[in-house]
Structure 1
């Protein structure tokens, strides 16, 4: 009887501990869904750095009186004067989707491109966005989907993490290849 239980337990543990290998995970910024070529792992809220925070957080412990701590804020679009991104999204919260490609192909974000290079397959394209260049906090550049969405009920101007369109500046960048004050495009690609 004990040996049967051990065999069953061993089988169950093998199934539970077996992780599919070869998959690649990436975040699609500005959308709640994944392209048809990928599987949705989870959908959430964009936060600082940026992080893709899940819709169903789990908590463990709480320290009320800790003056030395980091903070995480939600992200908002800053596009009130934009001609390329729907300005009605200004101050709306930014969604995100964590997507998995089963093929195991690595994913690369290519700035200043709308098409992938030969041998690569497009997952999605859009515009490069980041925090404002003159803000004291550091910023990470993210490729936000060309057709961004907003979170329902997420229209408050808290100015946590801000997503601004990123522009090219001639001088340190070679122009005319780059265009002064034009918004950077971007494309997310994987191997075919």
Structure 2
């Protein structure tokens, strides 16, 4: 047993002695390993640098491709906008054409009576011309409105021998009572006691209105005709409406006899509840018929 322990001790001492000698003397094998490690490090750095170079090239290529694609996309968008604008223009043109066509089919327009005239403005259609009429100025009842009778009446059943409850009389200009010249300063001719014509006109525009106190239409409206505001006399039994009597009023041929009937007087301003100014006491009021 002692001999065995001794042998083990000798082996350990020998091994430690050999290890110490090896540590005190440089080894060619150890230097070779360091050189190999350094070489590996250098090679790794070279590879990394090469990889970084490739990455930079790839990045440049990607940026170049992206820039090209950006320009391509912008070009495509511009072409699409131009195409869309052209298509929108074509669609708009077709829609306008359809609207115009539908308007023509729907025959949009409106009508009005032109009092004192037998013709209509140039772009209007003359539906018919005839005679201004209404209830007598002496009637306590009857109708308040003026009507425009056609020159070509058509009859249904009638009884000439039976008196009806109301009568229709012809319209007459009544200007001599208040205007010595028979209204020639207003209408370019003496109209006193003359029978009044009228015409039914159709404008191509959809809305029409009479504006009292104006000779011109407001912006966006078309003037059909202008003149002077007229109605029955305030002291007469029969009420009337206000109408616009054309400033170039005509007279019916052969209608100069003073037979009265439905009368036309010029309307003038009476201040009080009516604001003056802008209105002025005693002035005859103008009027204009406008369409849109």
TM-score with structure 1 length normalisation? 0.84
In 2, the alpha carbon distance for the partners of 1:92 and 1:20 equals: 40
Instruction: Compare CA radii of gyration and give the structure with the larger one.
Output: 2
Aligned equivalent of 1:25, options 93, 111, 136: 111
In 2, the alpha carbon distance for the partners of 1:160 and 1:26 equals: 23
In 2, the alpha carbon distance for the partners of 1:160 and 1:184 equals: 23
Aligned pairs, how many? 172
Counterpart secondary structure, 2:236: coil
1:52, 1:97 within 8 Å by CA — same for their partners in 2? yes
User: 1:113 maps to which residue?
Assistant: 214
- Structural mapping, 1:74-153, within 5 Å: 74-80=170-176, 81=179, 82=183, 83-86=185-188, 88-103=190-205, 105-153=206-254
1:123, 1:189 within 8 Å by CA — same for their partners in 2? yes
Task: Tell me how far 1:85 sits from its aligned partner.
Answer: 3.4
Task: Tell me how far 1:20 sits from its aligned partner.
Answer: 5.4
Counterpart secondary structure, 1:180: coil
- Structural mapping, 1:41-56, within 5 Å: 41-48=127-134, 49-56=145-152
The structure in which a higher percent of residues are strand is 1
The structure in which a higher percent of residues are helix is 2
Q: Is 59-68 or 171-180 further displaced after alignment?
A: 59-68
1:79, 1:85 within 8 Å by CA — same for their partners in 2? no
TM-score with structure 2 length normalisation? 0.56
With CA pairs under 8 Å and 6+ residues apart, which has the higher RCO, 1 or 2? 1
Aligned equivalent of 1:35, options 85, 109, 121: 121
In 2, the alpha carbon distance for the partners of 1:97 and 1:73 equals: 17
- Structural mapping, 1:168-183, within 5 Å: 168-183=269-284
1:5-32 Cα offsets, whole Å, 9 max, x none, are: xxxxxxxxxxxxxx95312111100100
Structure 2 residues not aligned, in runs of 5+: 1-104, 135-144
